[in-house]
Structure 1
Amino acid sequence: MKLTDWEKREDALYLETESGIAKLTPVSNRIIRVVFTQDREFSSKESLVVLPQAEESVRWEVREDTERLVLRTPVLQIEIRKETCAITYLDGNGRLLTKEPERGGKTHVPIEVEKTVYDGNVTIKTGQGADGVRARVEGSRKTVDRRAYHTKLEFEWQQDEALYGLGSHEEGVMNLRGSHQYLYQQNMKAVVPMIVSTRGYAVLWDSCSCMIFRDDMHGSYLWTDADDEMDFYFIYGPEFDELVGGYRKLTGAAPMLPKWAFGYAQSKERYKSQEELLDILREYRERKLPLDLLILDWQSWPGDWWGQKSLDPERFPDPAGMMRSIHEEGARLMVSIWPIMNNNGPNQQEMRNRGFLLGNQANYDPFQPEARRLYWDQANDGLFKYGIDAWWCDCTEPFEADWKGAVKPEPEQRLSINVNEFKSYLDPEFINAYSLLHSRGIYEGQRETGDEKRVVNLTRSAYAGQQRYGAITWSGDTAASWTTLRNQIPAGLHFCATGVPYWTMDIGAFFVGRKPEMWFWNGDYDRGCEDDGYRELYVRWFQLGAFLPMFRSHGTDTPREVWRFGEPGTVFYDTLAKFLRLRYRLMPYIYSLAGSVTHEHYTMLRMLAFDFREDIRAHDIGDQFMFGPAFMVNPVTEPMYDGSRSRKPEGVSRTRQVYLPAGTDWYDFWTGKRLEGGQEIEAEAPLEIIPLFVRAGSIVPMGPVVQNTDELGSQPYEIRIYPGRDGSFGLYEDEGDNYNYEKGDYAWIQMEWLDKERTFRIGRRNGAFPGLVRERRMNLILVGTESAQGNGEAETNVFDCTVTYSGEAVVISFDSGGATL
């Protein structure tokens, strides 16, 4: 692909080659868009992923020598080899970031794109499995619609770099180097086509087709199945937070979720009636166990009208009264809704009559704006108008075709089966985008209805840009085993590294027992919560869940309420209650992280490379992560008490190995012991605790134990300060729900610790909103200051003082005698 001509225009660098045209557009100093096509003009299709970009003043220039063109911004250099158009990416100092092979690395293979024709010969077969209703067309035929391309973009990655991203996947791989991944939507795949490198860059593909990522014996590249042109964005950081900021600049910011969304969510498959829901809520309140959200899973609709967006009047006779009772108890309700409809319910008939169903006459078509609007109108009329608070958009990869049989198909079989099923109903160029458009319809519909409630949409599928629609993605219908628990951690870390901030999972896994005739129903615990082995696994899963963006228990086979695992005084019950209450104590910290997600493009669930990118030892660690700037969470992913089917593990230590990243000291959260970074330790890990370490310099605001997030109000906060280096933290507050924050109704309080001076400063409150707490008592705790090495004991001296903060700056000095205001 030899360069034949080039031109620098106001908007981009345009290239003519022997085999097509290309353009490189500086979107910002740190973001370059690259488009290449073998056609004679660029596509005019509107992107589903990338939003229209506001004009930004970018300083860039192009220089030419005998072998190359160099596009330069203040922080990036893009070198284009004239002979092959191979691109090399360097930072502003000339440090190599990554490059394409010298031969070129950009491939287009022409293909014929087919569409499905539905005529009088087709039949529709509908059936229900463990994953819900599916409708499939048989007897259809294909016809050629247009020409497009398979595209392939190759890289020569550097030996010392680690790669992350691509979304949430089930295999448990941490560093993607030396691996491959198929990028299509299915139950336990949530795709985001972006890779992130420890060398300080990311690549986002603007493609919605099936893709394949490889870094193996077949090469190092990303391949797309059906695109008009190759279109991707190179983003430079170098820090991961800057890469996420670049992604969200392109695809949209994440709106604030309501405060209650960060409380505890209780769910199972399934609560069957209004009475059962209210009984569960009353039990939580009587036991003084915090809870903010109840979730109503599938089949709450009338009779056999699958997917009807209204409640069965026999089981839910008074939706408005039910919602009043739930709200009076300080809780909310999320209801499962589906994009697939069956049995000629009123919703399905209305969709069919208006031509808004896909070829199987069951799934609605979110690619049509009017279909999205009708879907919302149905949800509003049947559910939202009664006071329901949130949506569980289940089955948003709606053409799953391989969840059947006793043997799990091979990965390549699954790719073929599922992608071909998607292509029966959707254009191959857009098969990954169903969930994105579905989420858009829910978000825009609710926003148009009113701004009193923030949109919350728990969805099983995802795509780039979905964060702008108030979506939370969970990892799908997993099976209960220690391997699954271990693999969940990299799944969430990869997902959030792509820039989509809200991820969760089914605490305890969806399938707990085993049904040999169904390959996916393969949990290790047929006795469910009566099995001590499952109780141990569930407690460890619950401990992990307490440090995720959404804290949610869900699954089938066995109930999930806290008291199902024992009664007060038993280790299982007491440990679950302990971590449930800790989650609520951390709510001021967690909600402030949420404020940073929206206002500063922050990420709260962070692989270690976010904060320790230069520490090579941290690159491959898939079972430790940062929860915000302070906490390093180290889940226990091996049995210590009871194995599967209650087989006692032998010779197992009740500790786990933890790597303390270099460049900082760390504090054991439970003991206050201070340890030096850059070492591996054996951390105590009895069932009652998860190894939890706090980075030196951290400031952690905590609240009291409350029963729901509404109770926080003006209650006192505890501010924990972990000395050892300077630190800061922004405490965020707003009304907790509604969208007034978009109008500026929110406040920040900046807190700073100056380690050398041993001085803590609470800055002047910046901002205001209706209901702002004007005065709050804050108990300041300076955690133990003596150092400990390895397993040595540490002094855990604690100095504390109490101040009443009323919005003006306060400075507190700590010395050996205590604290001085």
Structure 2
Amino acid sequence: MDIEAQFFSPTIVRIIRNPEGLPLNKQSLSVIKKPEQTALSVNEENNIVYLKSAALQVALNLKTGKVSFLDLQGGPLFTEKDYGAQFTATKDAGRNTYSVRQAFMLEKDEVIYGLGQQQNGKMNQRGQRVYLSNQNTKVCIPFIQSVKGYGVFWDNYSPTTFTDNLQETSFDSEIGDCSDYYFMWGGSGDGVIAQMRDLTGQAPMMPLWVYGYNQSKERYKTQEELIDVVKKYRALKVPLDGIVQDWQYWGKDSLWNSMSFDPVTYPDPKGMIDKVHQLKAHLFIVAWPGFGPLTKQYAEFKQKNMLIDFDTWPPKSGAKPFDPYNPASHAIYWDYLNKGVFSLGTDGWWLDSTEPDHINIKDQDFDQPTYLGSFRSVINAFPLEHVGGIYDSQRKTTSQKRVTIFTRSAFAGQQRYAANTWSGDIVSTWPTLQKQIPAALNFSLSGIPYWNADIGGFFAGAFKQGGGAKNPEFQELYTRWLQFAAFTPMMRSHGTDIPREIYQFGKPGEKTFDVIAKFINLRYSLLPYIYSTAWDVTHQSGSIMRALFMDFEKDIQVYDIGNQYMFGKSFMVSPVTQAGQKEQAVYLPAGTLWYDFWTGKTEDGGKSIISTTPIDIMPLYVKAGAIMPWGPKVQFAEEKKWNNLEIRIYPGADGDFTLYEDENDNYNYEEGKYTETPFHWNDKSHILTIGKRRGDFTGSLVNRKFNIVLVTETKGIGEQVSKKTDKVIYYNGAASSIRL
């Protein structure tokens, strides 16, 4: 076979193999980086060729074809097995090709993460055999990263089996003209993710409002019902920013996804959208990849040979998916979506069924032709191509409204399309809630920072007996799930069987209502922190949900913890995932002092403690050195400017934080229209320095007040703004320092 090593940068190497003499013309769907000019030294000894960049070495064994990766001192990082590549001749829709397999060897106790979002409850993905083929609740990304500081992306879009056992670690794809993978040396979890984003694209900023609270259900059936939900939130003074219109606003299933409103149930869609905006909320609307047989889209796609001929949701409707692999299909899809929906003023997309749904499955369905080959050969990249088409099309249409998408499936690179993946139609049970945490962390560790889940789980039918939303067992599960969701990249309530609006659970003064309201309000207090963290995602390839090893790599106790995580770099979250839990063990990573968010009590790291968990408390700990901006009490994200912020300082270590602000919902930030306000805490001298404000934008604050609170057991604790302040700083953008 032919082997090629391509350095895309000093730290990213592509290894590509194909049967000798087979012409190769592969365009990656995920990788958008072009190889950099990279200085290399080359030498050969004992039948091994060494290629050395400024960051690592690649060793190719000329006898066995084995490729190994070494650090600059020759220490091993990662290696293939001898004779580890295998090509097995096969036919794909009548075409001669191969199934392709590549085997590697990991160290015995090495911990790895990734593979997208699997519902296996595992944090460490060692010892697994996972069939990687996207489906509802399961997002498959053939990517792993190791605690040793490297990542590997297997660039193949056909169904692939990942296997890790004592003999080897391997990717085995059903279809492939070549074996094609990228080795990334990052040195840390953050470093690996930065390499993956460099390779497959950076994540743009979403609008500020989308980080607030979003309400959905399966489904609002009239425009009056949808508007009424927003009105009720406003009357109750519970914050809300997004409302979601699910399926069938178009009417009959034969008109599935017609991207037009049924005149009986939605007689004035423009009026509905305007009313939502008058109430200071935003509307997400659903769109699907499949079209009913009586839609204009179906007719046009069929005439242009852009339908894939298999059955998709809904059953017995005759709906078929379009071919998103054909670039020409994107403009057609968007033309209908824009004229029928977006031009009316909608704000965000819910792209459902992006796997896509496949029903009445027949073997020949996978032989169906697409623009890029058989459906089988490209199946896992369907969400990437579909979501990308919407993103690119909206960007061409306007820069005044940021693209914001939540979607049910994903593939490597999808972060570049402003996509927030949710974990699908999961069941409302405690074990399901437990599994969402490692699923989310491994998804984030696969390079895609935006994730969410239906609060309470989608299928809640088991709780309908006993009062639905008034069923005490469901109330407990829902409340605990919502607490977790307040510390995920998107906080969105959704489900079938039982409606989830806050007023379904009771009224103000009743326990469940009050706890739900408390955590929604807490989410809004966190918006300056969350939005600044989102800027770190966009600007520095950061992550919002962070596996503990990313921040505490020296503490091997955290490597396989899948029920706690960092939210941004300051908060440690320990969701309650069992019924009737009155207390739970929380591991505090070594190397720092920890503050109980609710009490201000401090604990040294490197040990487990027991945290009490009454229904209104989820264990939250803040790292010493954290600087936390605390937002105002609001009904929606943009109601008040951040001109009077509480700044909480958690002493015990030096710390830094950068407060980010921009125009909230356009792309002017890409032209440098934003501000950064840097904060630094010197713990030894107890001096807080607020640096010179960097940047500017229309409407940026010139003068503002910072209420500085040094956190103790008597102040700066819990969700409420502090009654006591240590110092007040009137800040005009010039640097200033104060001793506390």
Q: TM-score, normalised by structure 2?
A: 0.94
Instruction: Indicate whether 1:87 and 2:67 are aligned.
Output: yes
Q: Is the 8 A contact 2:383 2:409 kept in 1?
A: yes
Count of residues in Structure 1 that have an aligned counterpart in Structure 2: 720
CA distance in 2, matches of 1:86, 1:398: 37
Letter of the structure 2 residue corresponding to residue 543 of structure 1: Q
CA distance in 1, matches of 2:448, 2:367: 26
Matching residue of 1:125: none
Q: Secondary structure at the match of 2:247?
A: coil
Listed as ranges, the matches of 1:577-592 within 5 Å are 577-592=517-532
Matching residue of 1:505: 453
Matching residue of 1:111: 90
CA distance in 1, matches of 2:671, 2:263: 40
Which one of the candidate residues 259, 279, 285 is aligned to 1:335?
285
Matching residue of 1:371: 329
Instruction: Indicate whether 1:780 and 2:670 are aligned.
Output: no
CA distance in 2, matches of 1:492, 1:344: 38
Cα distance change on mapping 1:526 and 1:718 into 2, 3 Å: same
Which one of the candidate residues 430, 438, 444 is aligned to 1:496?
444
Matching residue of 1:413: none
Cα distance, 1:663 vs structure 2: 1.0
Matching residue of 1:150: 99
Residues 344-397 of structure 1, C-alpha deviation per residue, up to 9 Å, x if partnerless? 123322322333222247211111112111101000010001101111110111
Cα distance change on mapping 1:422 and 1:769 into 2, 3 Å: farther
Matching residue of 1:483: 431
CA distance in 1, matches of 2:199, 2:206: 21
Cα distance, 1:552 vs structure 2: 0.3
Listed as ranges, the matches of 1:685-704 within 5 Å are 685-704=613-632
Q: Secondary structure at the match of 2:127?
A: coil
Cα distance change on mapping 1:419 and 1:576 into 2, 3 Å: farther
CA distance in 2, matches of 1:314, 1:424: 38
Instruction: Indicate whether 1:769 and 2:697 are aligned.
Output: yes
Instruction: Indicate whether 1:759 and 2:687 are aligned.
Output: yes
Cα distance, 1:335 vs structure 2: 0.6
Instruction: Indicate whether 1:220 and 2:165 are aligned.
Output: no
Matching residue of 1:444: 392
Cα distance, 1:239 vs structure 2: 1.2
Q: Is the 8 A contact 1:457 1:470 kept in 2?
A: yes
Which one of the candidate residues 289, 301, 305 is aligned to 1:351?
301
Cα distance, 1:524 vs structure 2: 8.9
Cα distance change on mapping 1:259 and 1:525 into 2, 3 Å: farther
Matching residue of 1:739: 667
Matching residue of 2:501: 561
Instruction: Indicate whether 1:457 and 2:405 are aligned.
Output: yes
Q: Is the 8 A contact 2:106 2:168 kept in 1?
A: no
Letter of the structure 2 residue corresponding to residue 570 of structure 1: E
Instruction: Indicate whether 1:69 and 2:49 are aligned.
Output: yes
Instruction: Indicate whether 1:58 and 2:34 are aligned.
Output: no
CA distance in 1, matches of 2:73, 2:600: 42
Residues 239-266 of structure 1, C-alpha deviation per residue, up to 9 Å, x if partnerless? 1111111111111111111111101000
Matching residue of 1:808: 734
Cα distance, 1:58 vs structure 2: 2.3
Cα distance, 1:213 vs structure 2: 0.8
Letter of the structure 1 residue corresponding to residue 386 of structure 2: H
Cα distance, 1:170 vs structure 2: 1.4
Residues 450-469 of structure 1, C-alpha deviation per residue, up to 9 Å, x if partnerless? 11111111111100111111
Residues 661-700 of structure 1, C-alpha deviation per residue, up to 9 Å, x if partnerless? 1111111000111110000011111111100000111111
Cα distance, 1:80 vs structure 2: 2.0
Matching residue of 2:222: 273
Matching residue of 1:597: 537
Q: Secondary structure at the match of 1:100?
A: strand
Cα distance, 1:188 vs structure 2: 1.0
Unaligned 5+ runs, structure 1: 1-19, 115-143, 403-416, 515-522, 641-652, 787-795, 815-821
Q: Is the 8 A contact 1:481 1:524 kept in 2?
A: no
Letter of the structure 2 residue corresponding to residue 314 of structure 1: V
Which one of the candidate residues 143, 148, 160 is aligned to 1:194?
143
Listed as ranges, the matches of 1:718-737 within 5 Å are 718-737=646-665
Cα distance change on mapping 1:496 and 1:248 into 2, 3 Å: same
Matching residue of 2:313: none
Letter of the structure 2 residue corresponding to residue 450 of structure 1: T
Residues 139-167 of structure 1, C-alpha deviation per residue, up to 9 Å, x if partnerless? xxxxx12x222222212211232111011
CA distance in 1, matches of 2:138, 2:466: 26
CA distance in 2, matches of 1:665, 1:57: 44
Cα distance, 1:535 vs structure 2: 0.4
Which one of the candidate residues 104, 112, 126 is aligned to 1:177?
126
Which one of the candidate residues 344, 348, 351 is aligned to 1:386?
344
Cα distance change on mapping 1:359 and 1:278 into 2, 3 Å: same
Q: Is the 8 A contact 2:154 2:171 kept in 1?
A: no
Cα distance change on mapping 1:348 and 1:218 into 2, 3 Å: farther
Which one of the candidate residues 262, 267, 272 is aligned to 1:322?
272
Q: Secondary structure at the match of 1:104?
A: strand
Q: Is the 8 A contact 1:210 1:419 kept in 2?
A: no
Cα distance, 1:777 vs structure 2: 1.0
CA distance in 1, matches of 2:607, 2:364: 49
Instruction: Indicate whether 1:549 and 2:497 are aligned.
Output: no
Root-mean-square deviation (CA, aligned residues, Å) is 1.9
Q: Is the 8 A contact 1:512 1:526 kept in 2?
A: no
Residues 10-35 of structure 1, C-alpha deviation per residue, up to 9 Å, x if partnerless? xxxxxxxxxx1111111111111111
Residues 323-348 of structure 1, C-alpha deviation per residue, up to 9 Å, x if partnerless? 11111111100011111111412332
Q: Is the 8 A contact 1:473 1:503 kept in 2?
A: yes
Q: Is the 8 A contact 2:599 2:713 kept in 1?
A: no
Cα distance, 1:96 vs structure 2: 2.2
Letter of the structure 2 residue corresponding to residue 800 of structure 1: D
Listed as ranges, the matches of 1:600-611 within 5 Å are 600-611=540-551
Cα distance change on mapping 1:315 and 1:751 into 2, 3 Å: same
Q: Is the 8 A contact 1:630 1:694 kept in 2?
A: yes
Matching residue of 1:313: 263
CA distance in 2, matches of 1:388, 1:797: 40
Q: Is the 8 A contact 1:784 1:798 kept in 2?
A: no
Matching residue of 1:138: none
Matching residue of 1:628: 568
Q: Is the 8 A contact 2:149 2:191 kept in 1?
A: no
Which one of the candidate residues 655, 663, 672 is aligned to 2:600?
672
Matching residue of 1:518: none
Residues 680-732 of structure 1, C-alpha deviation per residue, up to 9 Å, x if partnerless? 01111111110000011111111111111111324411111111111111111
Q: Is the 8 A contact 2:92 2:367 kept in 1?
A: no
Unaligned 5+ runs, structure 2: 311-318, 715-721
Letter of the structure 1 residue corresponding to residue 229 of structure 2: I
CA distance in 2, matches of 1:497, 1:510: 25
Listed as ranges, the matches of 1:151-170 within 5 Å are 151-170=100-119
Q: Secondary structure at the match of 1:335?
A: strand
Cα distance, 1:87 vs structure 2: 2.1
CA distance in 2, matches of 1:153, 1:449: 43
Cα distance, 1:776 vs structure 2: 1.6
Instruction: Indicate whether 1:35 and 2:3 are aligned.
Output: no
Cα distance, 1:418 vs structure 2: 8.7
Cα distance, 1:67 vs structure 2: 3.9
CA distance in 2, matches of 1:420, 1:583: 48
Q: Secondary structure at the match of 1:226?
A: coil
CA distance in 1, matches of 2:466, 2:79: 51
CA distance in 2, matches of 1:663, 1:322: 53
Q: Is the 8 A contact 2:643 2:701 kept in 1?
A: no
